Structure 1
Amino acid sequence: MELRQLTYFVAVAEELHFGRAAERLRIAGPSLSQQIINLERELGTRLLIRDRRHVELTPAGSEFLTDAREVLAAAARAFDRARNGDRQLPLRLGYVSWLPPGIATMPNLRVRIDEWVLPSHTQAARVAEGSLDLAIAWIEEADVVRQSLAAELLKYERLQAVMPGTHQAARHDSVPATELTILVDVDEASWDSWNRYALAFAQASGASVTHIDDGGITGPAFFEHVARLRRPVLQSPKRHAAPMPPTLTRRPVTSPVPLWAWDLLHRADDTRPMVTSAIRTLIDGASAAGWRIPPTETHWPPTSGKQA
């Protein structure tokens, strides 16, 4: 068994989609599928249940995922230790979509940006199990408690609406939340955090919900949904390189303003000075930039529990 095979398996297990896993790993889909088959054959057990539209972990696969992550984390630490010699190893920082600009040059901050860009709930789980030291992600308070984590606010991001330029709402400077539709994807493995936020915001604001099954929460597929629905659609904070078509436009959302909170996650019992220093550096930088201040307009969710 090779570390490469473990890397491939973890990617498929986290994405629960061979196409996305292959894209993330930058290898051909058939090659990835064959590697997983070889791994299952070597282990003598089935790790995944898959068909043309569905992938899920078997009980053995769920257990193996935990072990595979631990092995890969240990290998990464060994690599860093050998490369750095006697110097203290950098902290491993995972993220979802947003990173503070200039994070690599911040003083008193020794972090290694993890190469795996994964959903918020996955990055939170990786911090909890120890394969990451820190992560910048969205999380609900119940999950902070359940996973024995601590969450420090770094940034409030105001989400916007995208709509056809010919829509009547495009004539105005902003769009009331009640005029929005919000996309919710059936793929919980990739979009669990967004789905939870979207459904809660829709219930609180009166926005409508449209269910999709193609991963079109972001990227070109998202813009195709906007064009098809011909109405304002709330855009997720997940960034994508695809440019917005010129036939579409963006507007701020009001009544209420949808806020997405990027939190800095760490294990609640991790009191290492290096971790404490990194947290302080990132929070101080966020405060200086004004990222932790909520808007004065009515917004959702309420921010009374978050420190600005």
Structure 2
Amino acid sequence: MESLETRELRYFVAVAEELHFGRAAERLGMAQPPLSRAIQQLERRLGVRLLNRNRRGVSLTGAGETLLHEGRAALDATAAAVRRTRRAGGADGPDGPRDRLVLAMKAGASHELLHKLLDAYAAEPGAAEIEVLPSGTCEQGKMLRDGRADVALMHTPYNSLAGFDSEELMTEGQIAILPAGHRLAARKTLSLAEVSDIPGLPLARWSRDGTFPPGPGPEIHDQTQLAQLIALGRTVAVFPDSARAWLWAEHTAVPLSDAPPVVTHIVWPAHSRSLALARLIDTATRL
């Protein structure tokens, strides 16, 4: 069976995502004519049309949709293999090479749980080095798939666990985080509808897979930015109850009466064979 080269997949995914040969060529750092020829050669080799080309522009065929989905997964798998291989050959300790794991988590969530987990795991004999990477609302799954992370703390119903193995760690309610001086800060509870429609205090918007959802609220890139904007009275945010651990004196947390409970899971790629990761997961479930 004929195989595809990583280069061909990168070319096609760029065109399929941009739906414009000029923008795709610019993104890839190459001229447009060789990119067009490469896609045409790919279609001939596969024996199917991947793109519809007409005066109105470029669109994907059914076969193109399939290759885009599969191509993204293949490129992620290739990137993951490279990143995890490099981590496996990391810095040596006094007794030889030391394992290193990268853990992704939503910035500001599960703070106390993570603190307990890292302390408990560090006490284990031969514990690997853990690097913690804060991320946006829905970026943890992408980071697991492309190898930037080996394990993640993810939260349902907001994160999809499809394609991963996971263990449930904790269930908690949700809170609205408001400026301490706001008129609603004295309330015992709030509803989701009330929080989403506060005059002059729009909901913060976290990146989802590299894009921000529409809305008037500010685009949030990290927890410090969010904390500052809440304190300044520029935005409001909804978080699991455990986010109380990082609140400032200028913040107030009000429970949400009708928000679904948030379940924190420890999540990892289903194919992982890392002994260090297995030990971390065992520690997490014992907590």
TM-score by length of 1: 0.49
Alignment of 1:34-45 (within 5 A): 45=30
Query: Matched residues in 1 for 2:158 and 2:84: separation?
Result: 26
What is the DSSP-based 3-state SS (H/G/I as helix, E as strand, rest coil) of the residue aligned with 1:117?
strand
Q: Of the candidates 126, 139, 163, which is equivalent to residue 122 of structure 1?
A: 139
Asked if 1:138 is matched to 2:155, the reply is yes
Letter in 2 for 1:212: G
TM-score, length-normalised on structure 2? Answer: 0.52
CA spacing shift, 1:120–1:173, aligned 2, 3 Å: closer
1:250, distance to aligned residue in structure 2 (A): 1.3
Give the equivalent residue in structure 2 for 1:171.
186
* 2: CA distance, partners of 1:220 / 1:88: 34
What is the aligned partner in structure 1 of residue 17 from structure 2? Answer: none
Match of 2:58 in 1: none
What's the counterpart of residue 215 of structure 1? Answer: 220
**Alpha-carbon distance in structure 2 between the residues aligned to 1:223 and 1:86:** 44
For 1:72 and 1:272, the matched residues in 2 are separated by 14
Residue identity in the other structure for 1:149: F
Q: Deviations over 1:140-194 (max 9, x none)?
A: 598422xx211212233443223344544333333344421262538434577xx
Q: Percent identity?
A: 15
Are 1:184 and 1:217, in contact at CA under 8 Å, matched by a contact in 2?
Answer: no
TM-fit CA distance, 1:100: 3.3
**Cα RMSD for the two superposed structures:** 4.6
Structure 1 gap ranges (5+): 1-39, 47-58, 196-208, 286-308
Give 2:170's match in structure 1, choosing from 149, 155, 180. Answer: 155
| Residue of 95, 98, 114 corresponding to 2:105 | 95
Q: Is 2:188 the partner of 1:188?
A: no
Question: Max radius of gyration: which structure?
Answer: 2
Q: 1:254 to 1:115 in 2, by over 3 A?
A: closer
Q: State the one-letter code of the partner of 1:96.
A: K
Match of 1:112 among 129, 143, 166: 129
DSSP 3-state at the match of 1:144:
coil
Rate the CA distance shift 1:109–1:168 in 2: closer, same or farther, 3 A: farther
92 and 219 in structure 1: CA distance in 2 versus 1, 3 angstrom threshold: closer
For the structure 1 residues 90 and 229, does the alpha-carbon distance in structure 2 shift closer, same or farther, using more than 3 Å as the test?
closer
Contact 1:121–1:139 (Cα < 8 Å) also in 2 = no
Q: Give the residue type in structure 2 aligned to 1:171.
A: A
Does the 8 A contact of 1:109 with 1:278 survive in 2? no
